[in-house]
Amino acid sequence: MTVKRAFDIAAVLAGAIVAVPLAALIALLVRVNIGAPVLFVQRRPGLRGAPFDLIKFRTMTNRAGSDGKLLPDAERLTSFGRFLRSTSLDELPELWNVLKGEMSLVGPRPLLMEYLPLYSAEQARRHEVRPGVTGWAQINGRNAISWEEKFAFDVWYVDNHNLRLDLRILALTILKIVRRDGISAEGSATMERFKGADADAHPAAHRRHEPGPTSADTA
């Protein structure tokens, strides 16, 4: 077991005395304010791109238009869901992903499976480590920076990560949450979709994301 993995397990278990009751309370509030299901579960790429089921609290309703298709994210994101995102409390269930070894407390955020063929060789290096609940890109702009900047931060982390850096990122993440910085991209409820280096070569990237009854979520 690596030092990073041992730290993840120890930190999650130590925080469980607070995290478990808090998660139970949030689950109840999500059920009352947004409805069932309480959890948002979506397949994401993990270490070396291997898929796993990411778990979050739901922040959006399942409201659909007259054509039966889900409404845009901005129209389905509730005020309570916006609060969960701004405080990052929607990420709390990901601690279970950390315990299972699918994620780390710190690492590049796990994005969508459909982005995998859109990455350049350099951008794909973000999958050389486990994805994280928070990361270097999150404390350097989160959703308010461009995809290119975000991936550059991710790859820098891959090349430079160590326990001291992880502790720094965790501390700065708390500060970011308190200040509620970089929650969404300008003009968007969350983050604009990644279309790859050459969007014309990937026409599927132009389609609006409609992942089903649990809805899309921000990275």
CB 107 within 8 A of CB 135: yes
* pLDDT at res. 200: 37
The parts of the chain modelled with pLDDT lower than 70 are 180-191, 197-219
Domain assignment present for 82: yes
Domain assignment present for 216: no
Closest CA to 213 of 32, 25, 23, 39: 39
Q: Which amino acid is at 104?
A: S
* pLDDT at res. 216: 41
- On the 0-12 / 13-18 / 19+ scale of CB atoms within 10 A, 194 is buried
Domain assignment present for 211: no
Domain assignment present for 219: no
Domain assignment present for 214: no
Domain assignment present for 114: yes
* pLDDT at res. 104: 98
Q: Is the dihedral of CA 42, 149, 189, 205 positive or negative?
A: negative
Domain assignment present for 46: yes
* pLDDT at res. 120: 95
* pLDDT at res. 217: 47
* pLDDT at res. 208: 34
* pLDDT at res. 63: 83
User: CA–CA separation, 136 vs 161, rounded Å?
Assistant: 9
CA distances 217 to 73, 118, 179, 211, Å, are 8, 19, 21, 10
Domain assignment present for 215: no
Task: Give the total number of structural domains in the chain.
Answer: 1
Look up the domain containing 159 and give its range. Answer: 3-206
